[in-house]
């Protein structure tokens, strides 16, 4: 899902900028690919295309696969995987990959509540 890819790319760009590694295309690609592969595996495993905004199982499965496989692929490819980075990636990606789904899940409820207050007129 595009929103998930954007979340991973935001994580990579913010992380690289905060460590003064720069935002060159090669650098972003090098950092992003393990997480994007993990993301793709998580989306395939959860069949994310069926219910992309579902928190469970889609969001949780995508998040866990993105972090776990991303870290594993980083280790196999010789990139760093210290404990602090693992924790930061798990928290950041959790907030973003689960967060947009939480917000998306609230939008229909907010619309419904507002419509009922306005006599069914919608927004």
Mean pLDDT of the 79-93 span:
95
122 in a structural domain: no
106 in a structural domain: yes
123 in a structural domain: no
Q: How confident is the model at residue 91 (pLDDT cuts 50, 70, 90)?
A: very high
Q: Share the mean pLDDT of the chain.
A: 90
Residue 18 has pLDDT above 80, yes or no: yes
Furthest-apart CA atoms within the chain: distance in Å: 60
Total domains present in the chain: 1
Q: How confident is the model at residue 55 (pLDDT cuts 50, 70, 90)?
A: very high
63 in a structural domain: yes
pTM: 0.85
Mean pLDDT of the 43-64 span:
97
């Amino acid at each position: 899902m595009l929103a998930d890819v954007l979340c991973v790319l935001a994580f990579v760009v913010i992380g690289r900028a905060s460590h003064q590694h720069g935002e060159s295309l090669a650098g972003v690609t090098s950092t992003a690919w393990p997480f994007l592969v993990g993301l793709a595996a998580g989306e395939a495993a959860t069949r994310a295309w069926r219910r992309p905004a579902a928190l469970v199982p889609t969001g949780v499965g995508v998040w866990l696969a993105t972090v776990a496989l991303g870290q594993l692929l980083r280790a196999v490819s010789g990139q760093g995987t210290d404990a602090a980075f693992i924790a930061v990636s798990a928290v950041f990606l959790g907030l973003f990959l689960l967060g947009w789904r939480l917000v998306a899940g609230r939008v229909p409820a907010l619309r419904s509540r507002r419509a009922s207050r306005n006599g069914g007129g919608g927004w």
